[in-house]
Every structure is written in C-alpha cells, then in structure tokens.
Chains A and B, each alone.
Chain A
C-alpha cells in the first residue's frame, strides 16, 4: 500500500515537472545605449509588441519567448537598434510566439512589424511606423511625430495623437480615431469602417476614404472646417448647418454635401464608394 502511494507521488511529480518544462517561457532582456532620435525596429511574426518611453537614453527590450523554436536576433550600430524574432524549424504561431515590451527614448523613431500583434505604442514623439496583418494596432498619446499604420485586417485605434502626419492604410480593419489632429490625417481603407471623433483641429487636411465601409465623423459645433462628403452608391447624412461653398462636387441630397463651418481652417473629405457617411454633431 505504502509502495503504491510512493509510486503515485512519483508519477504526479514527474507529470508536474513535465508540464513545467513544456510551458516554460524564457525571458530575455537587452539594453542598448542610444542618442537623440534613435531608430528602433522590432519584427515579430507572432505575438505582441508594446512600446513605451524610457526614462533615459537607453533602449530596453524585454522578450518572453514561448518555446525554444524561436530566438531573438538583434543588431546594434551607432544609433540604430534592430530586433527580430527568428523562427527556427518547426515553429508555428504558438511556439514561435514572442512577447516584447520595449522601452525607448520618447524621441526615438520606432518601426514595428507583427503578423498577429497586437501592436501598441504610447507617449512617444518620434515617428512611428506599425505594420501587421491581423494585428490589432493601438496608438495613444503621441505628439509631434508622424504615424504610419498598415494592416490587412487588423483594427486600428489612435487616441490623443497630434501635430504629426497620420497615414493609415488598411484593407479590412476598422479604424477609430479619437482626438486625432494634425496637418495631415489620411485613412485609406477598402472595406473597413472609419470612425473619427475629434475637432478636426490644426488647420489640417483630413481625408477619410473607403470603398465599401461606412464613415462616421463626430465633431463639436465649434469645429472650423471646409467639408466635403460623397458616397457614390451609399447615403450621406449631415447634422451641421453648413455654409455653401464653391466646389466641383455636385451636391446631391442624400449622396453628397459640401460646405464650411466657422473659419474653415481644416479641410475634411469624407468619401465612401458604397458605404454610408454620417457627419455628426457632438
């Protein structure tokens, strides 16, 4: 009886140890000294990348590798840091997964690639380039840098982004812009829904275009815009009393409108080929 118990305990212990080994994650940390406006790029096929500002002139990369079928390669020269997940033979989306948390000087230019994501960048003021297939992209609290996002189907959310060029290209991902202002804000989508909630400030050029997706733009009554909206096959709706303006766009009730509000500081173009467009008053 006693012997049976001992064997059972042994089996449990072996199973437990096996489970621990199987699920063991490896944590790696890299430190790189950099100067002003460093370039930092991270390419990770499977898994999230989260970039935040560091306190000094240093790039700190923390990587959690989910198996030994993936390695982290890095290149460091002068002011450029490049991190790449290197998939080894037999790696798949699970075993090849790496989770990155990257701390960079706030003025660094950052480029992130991940097929699955999510990708997140916050509180930076350098240029930020994010690319992913299905990756969920979340950018927040960026000032002064350009933001370029490309996804196939990953949804894109920008919150509190100002004073830089914002360019988003997504085939099918929904795009949400909350308090996004700048000299140029451009969204190009095929089937994604585009939602803008802000004041179209900064005297910028705002262009939201999609083929079949809907566009919903919400602005306060004090917005200063020269707006034009058109849907070739869909409907348009406008909550604002617009002043007529001279435009080449033929205003058609229900499918196109154009006009100005306030001093018309910013230009706003809302264009969908077959989706609905709604300019809403907040």
Chain B
C-alpha cells in the first residue's frame, strides 16, 4: 500500500482501529503516515478532555466561517461567523475546534501526499533526506524535530532552500510549546487555561504545516 492509497482511506479510520492488514503493515513501515495518524489521535483525545457542555467560542465559529469562505463554499457576506454561531448555537460542539484544526492539517498533508508519484512510499523518500533530529540549538528534547517534520522541512527546502532554517526553528519552538502545554494539562487536567494553551499550541503547529505546504508561500 502506498502513502497515497493510505491517504484515501485515512478519513475512514477511527482511533487505532485499522481496517486491514495492509493498512497496519503500511503504518509499521511508514513513519510519515503513522505520525499523521498519531497526531490526529492526539488531537482527538484532547478534544474529549473538553467539558461536554462547553460552548464553542465566537472564535471557533469565526474560524469555520473563514475556512468555508476561503474554500469558496460560502460567498454570501451575510453568512458571517456570528450568524453561523447563532444558527448552530444550540449544538454542543466544544470538540469542533481541535477537530477542525486536525481536518485542516490532515487535508493539507493528504493534498501533499497526492503530489507524490504513485508507488513511492513516503518513508522511502524520507530515508534519502538528511535527518535534522535532535536539539542542536540547545532547546530541550521536547522541541526535537521528528521524522514527519524532517520530511516537511525537506519539502520546504526543495522549493526554497533558504526558508528551511526558519521553518525548522519555528517547528522547534512550537514543539516546545506543545510539550509544555501537554505537561501542564497532565498536571492540571481540569485547568481551562492549560487546555487553552494546548489548543493554541496545536493551532500554531497546524499553521506552520499549512504554510509549509502552501505554494504561494514557498
């Protein structure tokens, strides 16, 4: 199974349950796809931590409206974030924001995967790249770059070599943010501020991924 084929079935996968042996096999051999699945599971797990009756903020509706507008799915300016919020205000959708972020990141990664020639496992491509794992800049271990991110950096370098260093530094900073936020949530599972830090940290990472794959921003 190639990464592209796995990408196609990814939306149907739920948690750690994979539908067949081929998918399992692919995940065992491909660090990129297994990392992606692990990221999505982590975000999904964090979403469950949120209180069930917590209403999403205006910002959530705003982000959704923005994403829909950017995709051209809505054009009517009347359908503003506030309106969307009021229409759906009765829903208990506190989990929507991290899921939205996860979908955006997932979709972006999948789009990128589709560009890779058929039959070429992503892991194989990564193996030919120079690894950047470690923390040469003195940041703690939590800021280390993982294999997926190495691949992302290689993608950036292939388009704009000068930008790789900046992306690497940003990923390290964001990884450190996620590490601190996760520790904080673990230590204070009911702390709303700790949860907010974690959401923001993931949002930051999603943004870095999104920009790295945006052809308009090489």
Q: Which residues of A contact B (CB under 8 A)?
A: 37, 39, 43-45, 84, 93, 109, 111, 113-115, 126-127, 129, 131-134, 146, 148, 150, 152-153, 165, 167, 169, 171-172, 183-184, 186, 188, 190-191, 205, 209, 211-212, 230, 232, 248-249, 271, 273-274
Besides A45-B216, A129-B66, A171-B170, 10 other CB < 8 A contacts?
A45-B218, A114-B217, A133-B163, A146-B66, A165-B59, A171-B174, A186-B59, A211-B177, A211-B181, A248-B192
- A129-B70, A131-B211 known; A39-B204 Cβ under 8 A: no
Smallest distance from the beta carbon of A147 to chain B beta carbons, Å?
Answer: 11
Q: Is the CB of A191 within 8 A of B217?
A: no
15 sampled A-B residue pairs with Cβ under 8 A: A44-B216, A114-B217, A115-B160, A131-B211, A146-B80, A165-B62, A167-B59, A169-B203, A169-B204, A183-B82, A184-B58, A184-B59, A190-B173, A209-B197, A273-B184
Interface flags, B51-82, vs A, CB<8A=1, else 0: 00000011100110010011000010100111
Q: Is the CB of A273 within 8 A of B58?
A: no
| A37–B180 CA distance with the chains assembled, in angstroms | 43
Complex CA–CA separation, A206 to B195 (angstroms):
18
A146 contacts B81, C-beta separation under 8 Å: yes
Once bound together, how far apart are the Cα atoms of A209 and B163, in whole Å?
A: 26
Interface pair B197/A273, CB less than 8 Å apart: yes
The answer to whether A152 and B208 touch (CB under 8 A), given A184-B58, A273-B180, is yes
B62, B173, B184, B204: which contacts A146 (Cβ < 8 A)? B62
Bound complex: CA A133 to CA B156 (Å): 12
Seen from chain B, the residues whose Cβ lies within 8 Å of a Cβ on chain A are: 57-59, 62-63, 66, 69-70, 75, 77, 80-82, 160, 162-163, 166-167, 169-170, 173-174, 176-177, 180-181, 184, 192-193, 196-197, 200-201, 203-204, 207-208, 211, 214, 216-218
Q: Are B173 and A184 in contact (CB under 8 A)?
A: no
| Chain A residues in 8 Å Cβ range of B82 | 183
Picked from B62, B70, B180, B216, the residue with its CB within 8 Å of the CB of A84 is B216
Q: How far is the CB of B184 from chain A (nearest CB, A)?
A: 7
CB-contact partner of B196 in A172, A248, A271, under 8 A: A271
Residue of chain A at shortest CB distance from B197: A273
Complex CA gap A232/B196 in Å reads: 13
Interface core residue of B63, B184, B218 (most chain A CB under 10 Å)? B218
